[in-house]
Structure 1
Amino acid sequence: MKTSPTPPGKALICAPLPPEYDRESGSRRIFHMIEFLLEAGWTVAFVCENAPPDSRHLRLLRQRGVATLVGFDGPFADLVEGGDFDLAVFAFWYIADRYADVVRRVSPRTRIVVESVDLHWLRGARQILGGRNGEQGSLDADYGGDLVAELNAYAKADAVFTVSEKEAGLVNDIVGDPALALSVPDCDETPRSTVPFKDRQGVLFVGNFRHTPNVDAIQFLSEEILPLLPSRIRSKHPLWIVGNGLEDPITDLVQGCPGIRIVGWVPFVEPYLHQARASIVPLRFGAGTKRKLIQSLLAGTPSVTTPIGIEGMEVTDGKHLLVGDDARSLAEAIERLLTDEELWSALASAGRRRMLRYHSRSGARARFLEAIQLLLSRPSKTQEAVSDLDTGGREHREVELSAFRRAVERAIPNDTSALVVSKGDPELIDIPIRRARHFPLADNGGYAGYHPKDSRAAVHHLSEAREDAEYLVLPPSSWWWLDYYEGFAHHLGSRHERVWADDACVIYRLHPRSSPGVKAVPAAAGSPKVHASPGGMVSRTPR
């Protein structure tokens, strides 16, 4: 995903609570996004539903130049109306479900992003259907209602950000739009420990214990995994539990379990990561990627986890960490890490290298800004809802339609056929004395109703459709194709001749480029000179 640079703009970030980056992973992710925008020169405002009095996290934002507001009542609409925001990011689907319509109504041009953090419907289904403790659950109407609301919030957005390619693919498959969800990885900067194997002691479990999967993991760990470890191991290597929300009745789950030490919330987890010989992430359900695992591997502390724990991460069992799928295999993996120095050293090095490759701050920042730039190259869904061309009222639409048709009539000869990249707008194919159809095409010759999955699919669609068409026309609302489908854009540029490009449309002749010695058919008389930007977008060259 590469796009041409976009000038810094104005962003609105909306969340349930202040970005408590030192308490839970989702807030840390939002805080990083705010930092990335500020570093790129953006102006940022932050709004949350609730906040403790004199929140130190809001105070930190204000010190960094971020305007803050608590509550989504009247002042929120005033902020949106006067803010001229290019972008509004809603942390979690339910915040978008409650308040995104205000942004759509007051500021139609603002692009709306839902930051999923993790897919709640996926996590909820796994929790209910997991069949733990001998009880097989079933999904009910309450779950169904939340599922519908979550998917609707995603479908209404201009983009959805996910923590992994897997979750982006799930969203795109369900909503039928392969360009909607974009993967932006979590990142961290945990330094590597300098403490050697022989000087380390204990097993560490870090988590936000207001999060149900982590509470279940404590119970699983204390009741089923730890009892399988030999007593000599447990006496030498206690289990340290560190994290937010470690209060009654959660602590009751481990009362009376030997070798467990409750720490609770700490401002920095690094001292514990650097001293522990191993970390454990015994999740039985959940979604998203696990920051606790990223931090542990970055620290050079080998980890044991479950298939759920490594979901969405580019890691391999036995190469970067150890994975077990039941209590016995997890206990055996813990014992191996605590006693096998050669294995421990290999995993410590390989795990850190892997995290630096996929979860570095610089990499996540670049991916986030690329996603923002791609999003801004498309119209908002509010603008698309008016029409594929319109940006403000019927009169303006007629002006743009006239310019579009004039360009097509000048570039494409009479009685020839053309494909128009669109979302089914009938006025875009209403071109006198020319046969125009929507692209992509359905089997019946009408609009297919979806975008191609990727560049390969886009090229395949074109190769099939060009048998009955001589030109491909891209109105401005479809120019994002040239950024998102990079391979498709390269195919057009290398295989077909661009005969027109201005503010009204871009047109390609669907025939192979002329060979040396063969005279190419020139663009229509009066066609403006054009150039392509690095991202593939076109713009008019001043005369």
Structure 2
Amino acid sequence: MSQIKKLLIIGFVWPEPNSSAAGGRMMQLISIFQQNGFEITFASAALDSDFMVDLASFGIEKKSIALNNSSFDDFVIELNPDVVLFDRFMIEEQFGWRVAENCPNAIRLLDTEDLHCLRAARQKAFKENRTFELNDLLSEEVAKREIASILRCDLSFIISEFEMKILNEVFKIDPKVLFYLPFLVDEMTQNELMNLPLFEDREHFVFIGNFLHEPNWNTVQYLKETIWPLLKKDFPEALLHVYGAYPSQKVLQLHQPKNGFFIMGRAADANEVVKKARVVLAPIRFGAGLKGKLLEAMQCGTPSVTTEAGAEAMHADLPWNGFINNDTVLFAKQAIELYNDEMLWKQAQQNGVTIINQCYQNHQFETALITEINALMTDSANHRLHNFMGSLLQHHTLKSTKYMAKWIEAKNKN
């Protein structure tokens, strides 16, 4: 009987798969590790939320931990995990040095979710009304922290092929410490497609996205102020339903039923909402990673209209399941065309199935991922020997986060 392998996941938040793509991504990772014999403990310093998943029901031990507190050291020594997965670079900054000191043999993995520095640099360029350029990343403060975190870890999961390219070509990261891992879903069959609501049984446009995520809030503003007036002018009976977790008061104030613009708040079941809609609208102007809402639309058989930023790295060279356009007038025109033309709609729907089955299949990535992790567990010393920049960043003169944490802990005791 093989020895049980222990995985410790340190979460930025407790997983909320019904609130965000990040929550869904985390549950995908948990499933992969469980299927491959890992016993999982999920720890986080975040407060519990009403919408967090019941980890115990998945056979996962839940552990609340504290920031800047040596109680974590005692916890991790006792647990003695074989593998530690950090959820976003900020968590690696907080706990990575503690794991390295107390469990030096544990493999350290980082799930970047998306490149935060890319999102930040694009958002900055957008607000300054200029075109984003890759060189902007080199002066982005978040990039210095995020790249350092990637280098300190044994392996980092990168969700987008475009972000893999940036890490290789802009930041010159050794490919041996990177692993391309997009969203992972099951194959979609024609029978499953046929069981989804038909064109004539669907109605309305829809947008869905967590409002704690700045690109989503910006998208809804853009819809309300620019896209929707153009669309309504040529299609007066159109209705748009905007769903999303954690809507603020400024989001709720956009609710305007007389204009067909409805702020619906959190969706009880996002899949059911998207399945009943005829077209997803996602005029995303900045961001990073992959857009969970657009993959979800494909799974629900719902065509979408988005921008180049929205579709980035999501469909290889395959035709999109709808339209991709940055021009506001054409965006509105194509949204109406897709909504009203059944033949066009069905072809777009079929394109979505092809994208799912060629770009996001579990079996394409799962075996390679576990093989890579097992290889690291077998020969981590050699891997780390050749990650010189990573070992450099573990050097005591560069451990500012460690000494800041110790200072905060000492201060809190006084």
Cα 1:257–1:180, aligned 2, differ >3 Å: closer, same or farther? Answer: farther
Structure 1: how far apart are the matches of 2:107 and 2:17? 25
Paired position in structure 2 for 1:78: 74
Residues 307-353 of structure 1: CA distance to partner in whole angstroms, max 9, x if unpaired? 11111212557553310012112112201101111111111112112
Paired position in structure 2 for 1:164: 160
Structure 1 residue 188, shift from structure 2 partner: 4.1
Paired position in structure 1 for 2:178: 181
Within 5 Å, which residues of 2 pair with 1:404-423? none
RMSD: 3.0
Structure 2: how far apart are the matches of 1:268 and 1:368? 30
Structure 1: how far apart are the matches of 2:387 and 2:229? 59
Residues 454-482 of structure 1: CA distance to partner in whole angstroms, max 9, x if unpaired? xxxxxxxxxxxxxxxxxxxxxxxxxxxxx
Contact 1:290-1:309 at 8 Å conserved across structures: yes
Structure 2: how far apart are the matches of 1:203 and 1:259? 10
More helix by share: 2
Residue 51 (structure 2) pairs with residue 49 (structure 1): no
- Structure 2 counterpart of 1:68, one-letter code: K
Within 5 Å, which residues of 2 pair with 1:421-460? none
Structure 2: how far apart are the matches of 1:370 and 1:332? 48
Structure 2: how far apart are the matches of 1:292 and 1:120? 18
Structure 1 residue 285, shift from structure 2 partner: 0.2
Structure 1: how far apart are the matches of 2:42 and 2:381? 21
Report how many aligned residue pairs link the two structures.
379
Contact 1:10-1:86 at 8 Å conserved across structures: yes
Structure 1: how far apart are the matches of 2:213 and 2:295? 18
Contact 1:112-1:157 at 8 Å conserved across structures: yes
Q: 1:216 aligns with which of 203, 218, 230?
A: 218
Q: 1:207 aligns with which of 187, 209, 215?
A: 209
Paired position in structure 2 for 1:333: 334
Structure 2: how far apart are the matches of 1:170 and 1:160? 14
Q: Please give the secondary structure, in 1, of the residue aligned with 2:37.
A: coil
Paired position in structure 2 for 1:68: 62
Paired position in structure 2 for 1:264: 265
Within 5 Å, which residues of 2 pair with 1:76-155? 76-131=72-127, 144-155=140-151
Q: Please give the secondary structure, in 1, of the residue aligned with 2:110.
A: strand
TM-score w.r.t. structure 2 length? 0.83
Structure 1 residue 30, shift from structure 2 partner: 1.2
Structure 2: how far apart are the matches of 1:128 and 1:423? 32
Cα 1:375–1:208, aligned 2, differ >3 Å: closer, same or farther? Answer: farther
Residues 111-154 of structure 1: CA distance to partner in whole angstroms, max 9, x if unpaired? 1111100100000000111257x5789999xx843221111111
Residue 346 (structure 2) pairs with residue 350 (structure 1): no
Contact 1:188-1:361 at 8 Å conserved across structures: yes
Structure 1: how far apart are the matches of 2:40 and 2:24? 17
Which stretch has the larger CA shift, 288-297 or 36-45? Answer: 36-45
Paired position in structure 2 for 1:15: 11
Structure 1 residue 363, shift from structure 2 partner: 4.1
Q: 1:35 aligns with which of 31, 34, 38?
A: 31
Contact 1:131-1:137 at 8 Å conserved across structures: no
Structure 2: how far apart are the matches of 1:349 and 1:371? 34
Contact 2:197-2:275 at 8 Å conserved across structures: yes
Contact 1:317-1:323 at 8 Å conserved across structures: no
Paired position in structure 1 for 2:321: 320
Structure 2: how far apart are the matches of 1:209 and 1:97? 26
Structure 2: how far apart are the matches of 1:111 and 1:219? 43
Cα 1:270–1:344, aligned 2, differ >3 Å: closer, same or farther? Answer: same
Paired position in structure 1 for 2:396: none
Structure 1 residue 57, shift from structure 2 partner: 3.4
Structure 1: how far apart are the matches of 2:329 and 2:368? 39
Residues 420-443 of structure 1: CA distance to partner in whole angstroms, max 9, x if unpaired? xx679xxxxxxxxxxxxxxxxxxx
Structure 1 residue 286, shift from structure 2 partner: 0.2
Cα 1:423–1:105, aligned 2, differ >3 Å: closer, same or farther? Answer: closer
Paired position in structure 2 for 1:522: none
Where structure 2 has 5 or more consecutive residues not aligned to the other structure, the ranges are 391-414
Cα 1:56–1:334, aligned 2, differ >3 Å: closer, same or farther? Answer: closer
- Structure 2 counterpart of 1:177, one-letter code: D
Cα 1:234–1:45, aligned 2, differ >3 Å: closer, same or farther? Answer: farther
Q: 2:196 aligns with which of 180, 194, 197?
A: 194
Which stretch has the larger CA shift, 32-41 or 313-322? Answer: 313-322
Structure 2: how far apart are the matches of 1:164 and 1:257? 40
Q: Please give the secondary structure, in 2, of the residue aligned with 1:313.
A: coil
Structure 1: how far apart are the matches of 2:62 and 2:5? 17
Contact 2:159-2:183 at 8 Å conserved across structures: yes
Contact 1:299-1:352 at 8 Å conserved across structures: no
Structure 1 residue 267, shift from structure 2 partner: 3.1
Paired position in structure 2 for 1:245: 246
Within 5 Å, which residues of 2 pair with 1:324-403? 324-379=325-380, 384=384, 388=385
Where structure 1 has 5 or more consecutive residues not aligned to the other structure, the ranges are 1-5, 389-421, 425-448, 451-543
Residues 217-244 of structure 1: CA distance to partner in whole angstroms, max 9, x if unpaired? 0011111111111446241x31111111
- Structure 1 counterpart of 2:109, one-letter code: V
Higher relative contact order (CA 8 A, sep 6+): 2
Structure 2: how far apart are the matches of 1:39 and 1:137? 41
Structure 1 residue 359, shift from structure 2 partner: 1.8
Structure 1 residue 380, shift from structure 2 partner: 5.2
Cα 1:172–1:84, aligned 2, differ >3 Å: closer, same or farther? Answer: farther
Structure 1 residue 377, shift from structure 2 partner: 4.5
Structure 2: how far apart are the matches of 1:64 and 1:341? 41
